Amino acid sequence: MLDATPRATAPELAVAAAAPVPMPVSFAARCTRALLSPWSRLSLLIALLASAAVAVLLFEPQRLLADGWPPQVSGAAATMVFAVAYGLCTVAFVPRPLLNLGAGALFGSQLGLAAALAGTVLGAGLAFGLGRILGQEALRPLLRGRWLKAVDGQFSRHGFRSMLAVRLFPGVPFWAANYCAAVSRMGYVPFLLATALGSIPNTAAYVVAGARASAPTSPAFLIALACIAVPALAGVVVAWRKRHHLRGR
């Protein structure tokens, strides 16, 4: 009885032999892929921020910055150490006004302003980098609401101008602005430049207030308070007038 099974021709056998054989994915490769996935990185970011917030609640580093600064650290070294500590504290959600007041009380108006601004830019850069690397890829698909899309579009298209306005008119929490910018398509350089320039007036007002807190009736202290209150009020007015644009109307 003849065999009716079709036989492969020589060219077909050659093609089959040359075709790559799929290799099974190793366990290590699967683990690496899972650890580097967008949601794993976002989970890591949330864990880091939660740990930082808990550390602030337990150890209260802001009290060290404002009240218990080591006396053996002084001069330029103290300013640099304070700036680094300032930046780390802002990433851990310590309010900047408290840190700015401490900078003024510890170093005076000029050195205090330099330390506070350096810490502001450092903290903003750290938060932006963490948000961009660990959170952007997972969070961008979730920007579906009209308000979220409006904010994202504003930051992505007009990054420098939008961030400068946010820093000049207080009202948006420092950490929230950092992570919103990180999730958007804003560039790193415009973000840092707008942060540095836009933070000068408000930071200077708090630093001067901290430096002159021992004389609450002095003109410098009263002017500093006015410089704190007026931009805050202006920010509220601008936000109220622009509310329809943020809703997508």
**pTM for this prediction:** 0.75
Which pLDDT tens digit goes with each residue over 30-56?
A: 656 655 677 787 788 888 888 888 888
Residues 6+ apart with CB under 8 A from 79: 107, 111, 114, 115, 118
On whether the CB atoms of residues 117 and 200 are closer than 8 A, the answer is: yes
Residue closest to 199 by CA, chosen among 46, 90, 77, 78:
90
Mean pLDDT in order along the chain per 10 residues (249 residues): 55 53 57 65 84 82 61 74 91 90 89 95 95 80 67 83 87 87 89 94 92 82 81 70 57
- Give the end-to-end CA distance of the chain in Å, rounded to a whole number: 82
